[in-house]
């Protein structure tokens, strides 16, 4: 039986609802990788968490990377604020995404894939945090928190989180807004409006079901399978909306923390970390990213000049010293965050740190030379064996993609996957404690 071509503007319609279709083979030579169904529930027990911290300007390689591999390395200058946690983190050398472009490639830090290349990959350029957030779904009030300690401009923004549809998730940039979202009860009128929106969109598929059945009979086998996958993905979104509706009527947790105000860098960054620790402790989320944009006010750190300007030091010692102050501040705040996670005990007796993977790094390997090679990457916590500087091959067929580390993190999080994005598997040498 010959099949008639289907117009690319075809919609499923019913009861005032219209649902745009994916591109089928019968619509022409173009193709669309369909979204698969959401992951199943996580493993029983104390849940894993994932926190990814980044900036768009990198960390100075000679101050970040240890000179030797193994567990007996001397702490380089930038890592000395983490000395008390030495046995609880791992530094990785020679991991990156094999991409180039300087500032224009930094946004691929957590995905390995530039946004313009997303259509070439089965899951687009989804970032590791958003892949974990899909797994969590609506089991927490927020499937993920995407945060930035400032807004940033252009390439100085922290574009860390990406959905499988190639959308950059906009971050919360004010600590006060984050506090309200986590711990301030919603106004009853706002809850009523959200309830009404859920009611109107309760089931798109129910409204268009009859048309979907008719359309399916007009498609070839490949397109029928694609339509089934597409409708299943819509159904999964509806299920999540239904679960999200339940959170409307659940009170937010009460915490002993005053609502933060506006402040300079030395106030804002600690406030974000404090709120993030509380969000994890109250199980308001299990996945988060935190970015430090490239336009932070360095005057608060006693400097004169821009963060971006210091990153283009060209080996000038005065600029290098200024950049070190900025980067050391970020490491100190991470160390303080780990202190807080270690102090919080889980019901099973473990610390929150034991159940939280904390990744820190950047999509920029060297801000002065604009290199995206050998990215600065550090992983702490999460129940892995730590305390080493792991050095991987620099070049050739033995080169290891950074996405292999992300694959290991996702498996630890509970996902049953073999490969993440551009990875070739999981990261060799990274073991559980």
pLDDT digits (tens, 9 = 90+) for 80-105: 999 999 999 999 999 999 999 999 99
User: Is residue 358 within 8 Å of 51, Cβ to Cβ?
Assistant: yes
Q: What is the pLDDT of residues 231-249, one digit of tens each?
A: 665 565 555 555 566 787 7
In order of 24, 138, 214, 290, 300, the CA distances from 330 in angstroms are 48, 31, 57, 11, 13
Query: Is 416 a residue whose pLDDT tops 50?
Result: yes
| Mean pLDDT value across residues 26-54 | 55
Assign residue 287 a region (left: φ > 0; alpha: ψ between -120 and 50; beta: otherwise).
beta
Q: Domains of the chain: which residue ranges?
A: 48-184+260-413, 186-250
Closest of 128, 137, 144, 133 to residue 41, by C-alpha: 137
Q: What is the pLDDT of residues 120-137, one digit of tens each?
A: 998 999 999 999 999 998
User: Is residue 209 within 8 Å of 186, Cβ to Cβ?
Assistant: no
Residue in the block written with tokens 């974990």: 132
Q: What is the pLDDT of residues 383-396, one digit of tens each?
A: 999 999 999 998 87
Closest of 406, 431, 429 to residue 419, by C-alpha: 406
**What architecture is domain 48-184+260-413?**
3-Layer(aba) Sandwich (3.40)
pLDDT of residue 193: 72
pLDDT of residue 36: 31
């Amino acid at each position: 039986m010959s099949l008639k071509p289907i117009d690319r503007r075809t919609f499923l319609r019913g009861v005032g609802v219209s649902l745009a279709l994916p591109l089928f083979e019968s619509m022409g030579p173009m193709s669309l990788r369909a979204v698969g169904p959401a992951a199943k529930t996580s493993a029983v027990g104390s849940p894993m968490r994932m926190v990814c911290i980044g900036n768009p300007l990198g960390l100075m390689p000679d101050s970040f990377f240890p000179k030797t591999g193994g567990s007996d390395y001397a702490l380089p200058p930038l890592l000395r604020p983490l000395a008390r946690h030495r046995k609880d983190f791992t530094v990785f050398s020679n991991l990156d995404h094999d991409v180039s472009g300087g500032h224009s490639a930094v946004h691929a830090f957590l995905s390995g894939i530039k946004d313009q290349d997303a259509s070439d990959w089965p899951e687009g350029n989804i970032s590791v945090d958003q892949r974990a957030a899909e797994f969590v779904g609506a089991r927490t009030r927020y499937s993920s928190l995407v945060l930035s300690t400032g807004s940033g401009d252009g390439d100085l923004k922290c574009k860390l989180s990406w959905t499988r549809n190639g959308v950059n998730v906009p971050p919360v940039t004010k600590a006060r807004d984050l506090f309200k979202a986590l711990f301030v009860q919603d106004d009853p009128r706002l809850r009523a409006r959200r309830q009404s929106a859920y009611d109107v969109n309760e089931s798109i598929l129910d409204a268009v079901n009859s048309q979907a059945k008719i359309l399916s009979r007009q498609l070839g086998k490949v397109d029928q399978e694609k339509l089934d996958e597409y409708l299943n993905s819509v159904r999964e979104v509806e299920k999540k909306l239904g679960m999200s509706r339940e959170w409307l009527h659940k009170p937010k947790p009460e915490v002993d923390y005053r609502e933060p105000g506006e402040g300079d860098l030395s106030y804002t960054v600690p406030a974000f970390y404090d709120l993030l620790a509380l969000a994890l402790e109250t199980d308001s989320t299990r996945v988060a990213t935190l970015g430090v944009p490239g336009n932070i006010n360095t005057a608060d750190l006693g400097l004169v000049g821009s963060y971006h300007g210091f990153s283009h030091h060209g080996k000038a010692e005065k600029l290098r010293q200024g950049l070190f102050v900025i980067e050391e501040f970020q490491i100190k705040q991470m160390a303080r965050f780990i202190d807080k996670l270690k102090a919080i005990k889980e019901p099973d007796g473990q610390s929150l740190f034991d159940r939280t993977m904390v990744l820190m790094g950047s999509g920029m390997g060297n801000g002065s030379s604009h290199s995206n090679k050998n990215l600065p990457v550090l992983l702490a916590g999460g129940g892995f064996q730590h305390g080493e500087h792991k050095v991987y091959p620099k070049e050739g067929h033995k080169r290891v993609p950074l996405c292999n580390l992300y694959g290991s993190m996702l498996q630890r999080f509970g996902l049953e996957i073999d490969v993440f994005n551009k990875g070739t598997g999981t990261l060799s040498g990274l073991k559980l404690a």
